[in-house]
A = this chain, B = another copy of it.
Amino acid sequence: MIEQREAEPEVHEDEFQLSQSELEAIGRAIDDGDRTMLDKLLDDVHAADIADLIEQLAPQRRRKFLDLYSGEIDGEILSEIDESIREEVVEQLPREVLAEAVREMDSDDVVDLIEDLEAPERQVILEALDEPDRAAVEQSLTYPEYSAGRLMQSETVTAPEHWTVGEAIDFLRQEDWLPDQFYHVILVDPRQHPIGYVTLGKLLASRRHIPLREITEDSFRTISAREDEGDVAYAFNKYHLISAPVVDDHDRLVGVITIDDAMSVLDEEHEEDFLRMARVSDDSHVSDGPLETAKQRLPWLIINLFTASLSALVISRFEQTLAQLVILAALMPIVASTGGIAGTQSLAVAVRALATRELTSSNARRVILRELLAGLLNGLGLALILTLAGTFILGDIQIGLVLGMAMIANQIVAAMGGVLVPLGLGKLGLDPALASGTFVTTMTDMMGFFAFLGLASWILV
């Protein structure tokens, strides 16, 4: 059951990544204030790795590093830096370095950078941009946070719908400014409505006289600038899109989203779900300090104090039973905790299936029934083990039977709660990943204690 392949990444060194000895040398260079050495060590290192380095440094060393190296921070490094330390880094950069860096960046990266910053830093960056770039960034910022409009780059490559391959190629050769990466030429009508696109591969492989309209892709789709970025990432992954035109409320082309940005969003959405299921704020970062970390986690711990008190209330109803048979106190967590595991299992499958839209209203009833039956089956299996264990280890078949019956009841509650709670929260417009766990484990804890102690006071005492 325990597979080994997952662990490999930790073992072997990536050919790009900084090695342990390089990291140590960089640490020494920072401490010595040796700027020449630092430049030498970081020459040829990928921007993403420099950004990682900055994130991993302890706060004091980070400040020292930025003092020494800030002249070298360019647009590429800046757009790779994690939002948790972005503000700190931006504040420490000399204005002219910052201005130079943002001028190099695509409009989507500038938007990503400044949307987290305070007004004064925003202003510095906006003022550093040339007029068309600034207008593009300001337009993006009019769309809601986490929308396609914030994710898109406004630099698009378009061609009138009546052009031929030759005309398009000549046009591309003449343009002295084109985006760093683009994968399609978007055909637009005279009112800037996108009506199809041609891959660069097709453009290159086709004869000059062929009309662009004849070689457009079948799977063309536009994205509304107001669409949620999570939906955009989902569509890219599902329909294997490479880039997609973004349109405003009047269906006019306002930008383009490329798959690398959609992939980052997919990655973030997954991370968010993962952390939320474990009741951790998705603002958690490795670079956070202890106080920040404690503050992020405390609310859910306090909520758990309350829900656990409900279980305590259930148990306290059976004080008399417990006083007569103290061993019940030792056994009752078995029923509760196994229910908690089963509830989490059922919940995790349901939350994933909701996120990937594999669980829909068309199959919800079948999935609920499946969970019910699976819960019943596992309840029976676990009950059998517990009854045998009760009989042979504790020497008391009645305790074994009580454990077993309580387990069956709790497995069913766990299985049902695991699927019904996220479905219900989804219907209420809440994120199932966020609050379901608390509801489900509260249910399984309370049911576990109640069923076990209730049956015990009925049968055993």
In the assembly, how many copies of this chain are there? 2
Q: How far is the CA of A441 from the CA of B146 in the complex (A)?
A: 35
- Asked if A3 CB lies within 8 Å of chain B CBs, one says yes
Report the Cα distance A179→B357, complex, angstroms. Answer: 30
A201 adjacent to B181 (CB under 8 Å): yes
Whether B271 pairs with A361 at a CB distance below 8 angstroms is: no
Q: Which of A32-40, A112-120, A347-355 contacts B (4 or more CB under 8 A)?
A: A347-355
| A1-38 near B? 1/0 per residue, CB < 8 Å | 11111111111101111001001000000000000000
A284, closest chain B residue (CB)? B349
Query: With A221-B16, A429-B11 as given contacts, are A6 and B46 in contact (CB-CB < 8 Å)?
Result: no
Q: Does A433 contact B (CB under 8 A)?
A: yes
A267 touches B270 (CB 8 A): yes
Taking the closest CB of chain B, its distance from the CB of A126, in whole angstroms, is 25
Closest 10 CB pairs of A and B: A278-B348, A290-B373, A6-B431, A270-B270, A200-B200, A315-B330, A329-B329, A294-B377, A293-B374, A294-B374
Q: What are 14 A-B residue pairs whose CB atoms fall within 8 Å in the complex?
A: A4-B430, A6-B272, A6-B434, A23-B362, A48-B239, A172-B201, A240-B260, A280-B345, A280-B349, A290-B370, A302-B382, A323-B326, A326-B329, A333-B333
Contact with B along A368-409 (1 / 0, CB 8 A): 011111110110011001100000000000000000000000
Q: How far is the CB of A85 from chain B (nearest CB, A)?
A: 12
- With A204-B172, A205-B175, A334-B308 known as contacts, the answer to whether A278 contacts B280 (CB < 8 A) is no
- A344 touching B8 in the complex, CB below 8 Å, given contacts A200-B201, A259-B263, A263-B236: no
- Residue A135 lies at the interface, judged by CB distance under 8 Å to chain B: no
For window 412-429 of A, CB contacts with B under 8 Å fall at: 425-429
Q: Contacts A326-B323, A348-B275 known; A311 to B286 CB distance under 8 Å?
A: no
Instruction: State the interface size on chain A (CB cutoff 8 A).
Output: 158
Whether the pair B201, A357 counts as a contact (CB closer than 8 A) is no
A2, A207, A238, A449 pick with most chain B CB within 10 angstroms? A238
In whole angstroms, how far apart are the Cα atoms of A452 and B259 in the complex? 53
Report which of B55, B200, B311 forms a contact with A204, defined as CB distance below 8 A: B200
Assuming the A-B contacts A207-B173, A358-B56, are A381 and B298 also in contact, with contact meaning beta carbons closer than 8 angstroms in the complex?
A: yes
A231 CB–B CB distance under 8 Å: yes
Could you say which of A67-75, A88-96, A248-256, A335-343 contacts chain B? Answer: A335-343
Q: A residues 221-239 with Cβ under 8 Å of B?
A: 221, 228, 230-231, 234-239
Determine whether the beta carbon of A181 is less than 8 Å from that of B370.
no
**Provided the pairs A56-B360, A290-B370, A330-B312 are in contact, do residues A46 and B239 lie with their beta carbons within 8 angstroms?**
yes
Interface status of A199 (Cβ within 8 A of chain B): yes
Contacts of A357 in B (CB 8 A): 9, 17, 52
